[in-house]
Amino acid sequence: MTTEQHLLLVRHGETQGNREQIAHGQTESPLNERGRKQAQITADMLRGWEREYDRIYCSPLSRAHDTAQAISDALGLPISLHSGLMESHLGDLEGVTYKVLHEFGYAKHSIRDDDFTGHNGESPRAVADRIEESILEIRALHPNENLIIVSHGGAIAHLIARLTGSKPAFGPQFIMHNAAITEIILPVDAAPEIIVLNHHDHLPEEFKIDPKKGDPSTQGK
């Protein structure tokens, strides 16, 4: 393995569910027109990124795959799907409105309790374990390559929290804008380092979807 490896984490573009304020964890919710434009703008921006990347891994859900495809087309990189990169499973809360999600207290409970499963879905710890294991598996297959990971708001937040040793496992402080990027250095003999967090300056103002508006958990789906 090289002395350091870079991960570029990309959140998918806006979806119809985001627009309609419906929580789609592992349920399909395609990119809407604005989401497709966000993905393309991000892909075009990455043509001039200061580091080169070698391949893309993404969640199999269409909102992530279609975002990854835009990046693949722009950079000429291969894409592989990995089910471990999917969003948190919301259990009984799959498909509910953001309002219902907030009234249930999903974010509040998930932030307070890493093992919360009161929604009959994945706990924050389980999500963090799943996505960390997925990244370790992917890195083992490509130890000398820089990797682009296209996933979901909640899943990425859990991953960043786990990689950096932050608490709680849910990592609400790491929820990203749609089509934003975070870059992390993974040295062999040192702790991971975030060098870019939630970069979305390349997006026009009308395409910047603020993840801090309302219940933070709803912006991760």
Which among 12, 102, 158, 177 is annotated as catalytic?
12
Q: What is the mean pLDDT of residues 146-166?
A: 97
* pLDDT tens readout for residues 120-148: 999 999 999 999 999 999 999 999 999 99
Alpha helices in the chain (DSSP H): 16-20, 33-46, 62-75, 98-104, 106-112, 124-141, 153-164
12 is catalytic: yes
User: What is the model's pTM?
Assistant: 0.94
Q: Which tokens go with 101?
A: 């999600």
Contacts of 87 (CB under 8 A, 6+ apart): 24, 25, 26, 59, 61, 151, 152, 153, 154, 155, 220, 221
pLDDT over threshold 70, residue 214: no
**Residues 68, 72, 77, 79, CA torsion sign:** positive
* pLDDT tens readout for residues 81-112: 999 999 999 999 999 999 999 999 999 999 99
The CA-based angle 136-114-57, given to 5 degrees, is: 30
> Could you give the percent of the chain with pLDDT greater than 70?
94
pLDDT over threshold 60, residue 217: no
- Domains of the chain (ranges; CATH) run 4-220 (3.40.50.1240)
Q: In whole numbers, what is the pLDDT of the chain averaged over residues?
A: 93
pLDDT over threshold 90, residue 13: yes
* pLDDT tens readout for residues 18-27: 989 999 999 9
14 is catalytic: no
* pLDDT tens readout for residues 39-74: 999 999 999 999 999 999 999 999 999 999 999 999
**What's the CA gap between 36 and 32, in Å, rounded?**
6
Burial 89-118 (b: 16+ CB within 10 A, else e): bbeebbebebeebbebbbbebbbebbebee
pLDDT over threshold 80, residue 2: no
Which among 14, 24, 65, 87 is annotated as catalytic?
87
Q: Which tokens go with 160?
A: 């960043």
Query: Per DSSP, what are the bridge partners of residue 147?
Result: 7, 55
